[in-house]
Amino acid sequence: MSHGEAGSDIALMLRVREGHEDAFEALYRRFYRQLQHFFFALSRDPQAAEDLCHETFLRLWKRRARYVPTGSAGAYIFAFARFIWLEHCRATRQHRLTEPLSTAEAWLETRPTARDDGPDTLAGRHEFEEQLDAALRDLPDEQRMVFVMRNVVGMGIEEIAETLQCPVNTVRSRRILAIQKLRNALRDIWAL
Amino acid sequence: MQCAMVRTRLIDYLDGTLLSAEERAVRDHLSRCYLCVEAHEELRAVLGAVRDRLRMPQPVDGFAALRKHIRAEKKPRPVAPLVRKRRPRLLARLSAAAAIALITFMGASTLRAVARVAYSASEEIVLNERVELSRARTATAADAFVRASMLR
């Protein structure tokens, strides 16, 4: 995210704090895709991702008066999102990726595939998805969170550090560890 | 730069977060080391595939539903009318004065009665104490007289 965008996000947040609905809409349009990617990567459930994104924005609106422009607006929004994810995990007792396989399979069926995908390709993709889920499930929570924020959502390292309230070097090391583990876990399937 | 050093920097190289000198060194190394190129390509492919599979297939714009929630919250609460009721001032003042006079009169007479009762009660207690004391003294003197006469 560029400095200009970050600055305008803060300006938007300040207008949201004053109760401007148009600013809130602009903020929503700017962040809803990222938030849905974030929740989907963690939950692997499109409906849950949509609901959690909705809940994040609703909470953001209700607590708008508490906003203080100390850092980037993205970090502020993702700190909310992370809190809501943890709350969701507590409510559903889902500390990790514990989605039943049937849901993942049903979702796999709905994913768009190329017309020339043969059975081998589909089987290979299916296996890759399963391996990926298993690899993500095995990652410690904080490494998975950093990996998702950086590699799926596309947040900057500094922004992630601000969101998680930890040093930049900690974010870097967590991410490197996560990638190494994922690469090792996916190496066999990738070589197929 | 050696292969081991390049491998540790590949993630940051892909991210574009290396310092310019380091980035140049990694690029130079990749131009002549096919093993590191393979590692670089593999890493890029794995990260790309993971990103594609972990992203929401079609993000849903749900602002309409959100707006409904917000507007429901924003509905203004019914406010009490700001019209003042006219009160009969003279009647209010008279009744207040009467109430104060009544309380003062009642208070004074009640206090007087209570003080009277308390005073008489205390008088009686003091009198009783005196009687008891004199009785005790008489008994002690009689007792002493009897003992003295017996000793004689």
Inter-chain residue contact B62 with A32, CB threshold 8 Å: yes
B57 contacts on A by Cβ (under 8 Å): 46, 110-112
Asked if residue B83 lies in contact with residue A45, where contact means CB atoms within 8 angstroms, the answer is no
Residues 6+ apart with CB under 8 A from A172: A157, B12
DSSP one-letter code for A150: I
- To test the contact with chain B by mutation, choose from A97, A125, A179, A190 the residue with the greatest count of B C-beta atoms within 10 A, namely A179
CB contact A179 to B (< 8 Å): yes
Nearest-CA neighbor of A157 among B17, B40, B21? B17
Q: B17-70: per-residue pLDDT in tens?
A: 888 899 999 999 999 999 999 889 888 888 888 888 889 988 888 888 888 888
| Amino acid A103: pLDDT | 47
B69 contacts on A by Cβ (under 8 Å): 58
d(CA A87, CA B50): 26
Read off the pLDDT band of A48 (50, 70, 90).
very high
DSSP one-letter code for B32: T
Average pLDDT along chain B: 83
Q: What angle do CA A112, B15, A184 make, to 5 degrees?
A: 70
Residue of B nearest to A49 (CA): B56
B61 contacts on A by Cβ (under 8 Å): 29, 32
Inter-chain residue contact B51 with A190, CB threshold 8 Å: no
d(CA A55, CA A63): 12
Residue of B nearest to A30 (CA): B61
Say what the ipTM of the complex is. 0.75
Average pLDDT over every residue of A6-20: 83
| Amino acid B16: pLDDT | 81
Considering only CB atoms, A157 lies closest to which of B17, B53, B69, namely B17
Inter-chain residue contact B54 with A41, CB threshold 8 Å: yes
Average pLDDT over every residue of A67-77: 87
- To test the contact with chain A by mutation, choose from B56, B60, B69, B71 the residue with the greatest count of A C-beta atoms within 10 A, namely B56
Nearest-CA neighbor of B61 among A60, A112, A29, A84? A29
d(CA A117, CA A48): 29
Q: B136-147: per-residue pLDDT in tens?
A: 888 888 888 888
Residue with the two structure tokens 């924003």: B74
More confident residue, B86 or B92: B92
- Count other Cβ atoms within 10 Å, centred on residue A52: 23
Inter-chain residue contact B11 with A132, CB threshold 8 Å: no
| Amino acid B144: pLDDT | 86
Q: How many CA atoms lie within 13 A of A33 on its CB side?
A: 10
